[in-house]
Amino acid sequence: MFKGRHSYKEFLEAEEGIATNILAERLQRLETSGIIVRTPDPADGRKTIYQLTPKGIDLAPVLVEMILWSARYEETDAPPATIREMSKNRARFIAGVRKTLGNSSKPAK
C-alpha cells in the first residue's frame, strides 16, 4: 500500500524476504478476500499486476495506526519523515493514500 509495489517480482524482492510459496498463498488469499485484484500487465501480458480494491484501500487507517504503534515501541524500517507525517496529520496522510490508490485501483466487477 505505501511502497508502490504491484508485481509478484517486486513483492518477492522486497526486504521482507518472503518465500515464494508463502507469497503466492498470501496473494491468493488477499484476492479471494477481495482486498486485491489481479490483472494482466498492459506492457507485458505474461506478467500480472496486483492492485488494491476499494476494500483494500479502506485498510489504510488501520495500517497507519499499526505503523505508528510499532514505531513507538520498536525500531522500524519506515522512513522517519513518513512516521512524522502520519503522526502530525493522520487524516491528511490517509486522504493522500486514498487519492493515490483510488486513481490506480480498478476492482474487477
Q: What is the number of helices (H) and of strands (E) in the chain?
A: 6, 2
- Please report which confidence band the pLDDT of residue 103 belongs to, taking 50, 70 and 90 as the band edges: low
- The pLDDT tens digits of the residues spanning 2-56 come to 888 999 999 999 888 899 999 999 999 999 999 999 999 999 988 999 999 999 9
**CATH (one of 1.10.10.10, 1.10.645.10, 3.40.50.1820, 1.10.1740.10) for 8-104:** 1.10.10.10
Domain map (residue ranges) of the chain: 8-104
C-alpha cell at 9: 517480482
Cβ atoms of residues 48 and 37 within 8 Å: no
pTM: 0.81
Count of C-beta atoms within a 10 Å radius of residue 83: 17
